[in-house]
Amino acid sequence: MKSSHRPGFRRIGRGVLAAAALLGLVFGTQAGTSTAAEPRQVYVALGDSMASGPLILPITGPVACARSTNNYPHELAERLGVDELRDVTCSGADTKDMTSPQPLSLLDVDMGEAPPQFDALGTDTTLVTLTIGGNDAGLVGIANDCMQLNPFAATCKSRFTAGGVDQVAQRVDAVGPKLAAVLDGIHAKAPNARVVVTGYGLYIKAGGCWPIQPILNTDANYLQGNVDRLNGVIAAQAAAHGAEYVDVRTPSLGHDACRAPSDRWVEGYVPTNLAAPLHPNERGEWNYARIIQESMS
């Protein structure tokens, strides 16, 4: 599924030095050429499981981070032809794991810690991608709580909006200040880097597709609506803190978990492609990389 390489950021300047050539004729010296030195392109990928690609083989790094070599950072690095990729994305990461060690576990077994993701940043960093916020809002856990096999059951939305307060929307809005701090921290640690922030994709179409995906139609709209709300928060914070926002939701239309397995970019509650439930599959990661690259050109 890999795409062909595109030229990276290098540009080679070459010119014949006429004066030196003339002197060479007189003094027997040979005119040369000069190559302008370009800085190394160091790409640091930060983020959660949307970026790490859990259960997409093969994996690299800490097993509990479920980081795939077929995730969007690896594909994007290949497309851009960077000199170095530092992919520190990790499943389960939230904004605090940018600056603090992330406790890791697998099947409830302690797997140690992942270093703070900001440790990968430096003055040599030229590109940063960031996908974060979904775990701060707890969206995957909420989606799991909303799974419903009984079409006559009360909606999940009614539970989360009881009393006229939308608890999920509150959690989503609370991501804003945390993300602002993360973006400011990236600029402080990597002042020479271009910073690109992604949103999250289209997980389920309007109205849902019960029982293909066991979530009531009202709840399908409610959950995707809060994903879209989070995308709005991310876009606003990116604009306010010197980063570029990449919309992966709009290009995902027609590739949600209700579609045929060969068309899906994200998996549903029971994956039909190798990927974690409610996460992008390899096709999705590949397309996210393509969308990000196109947005950068």
Both tokens assigned to 5: 């390489």
Catalytic residues: 49, 279
Separation of alpha carbons 2 and 4, rounded Å: 7
Contact 56, 35 (CB under 8 A): no
Buried/exposed 215-243: b ≥16 CB within 10 Å, e otherwise: bbeebbbbbbbbbebbbebbbebbeebeb
Please choose, from the candidates 132, 139, 146, 145, the residue with its C-alpha nearest in 3D space to the C-alpha of residue 245: 132
Separation of alpha carbons 186 and 184, rounded Å: 5
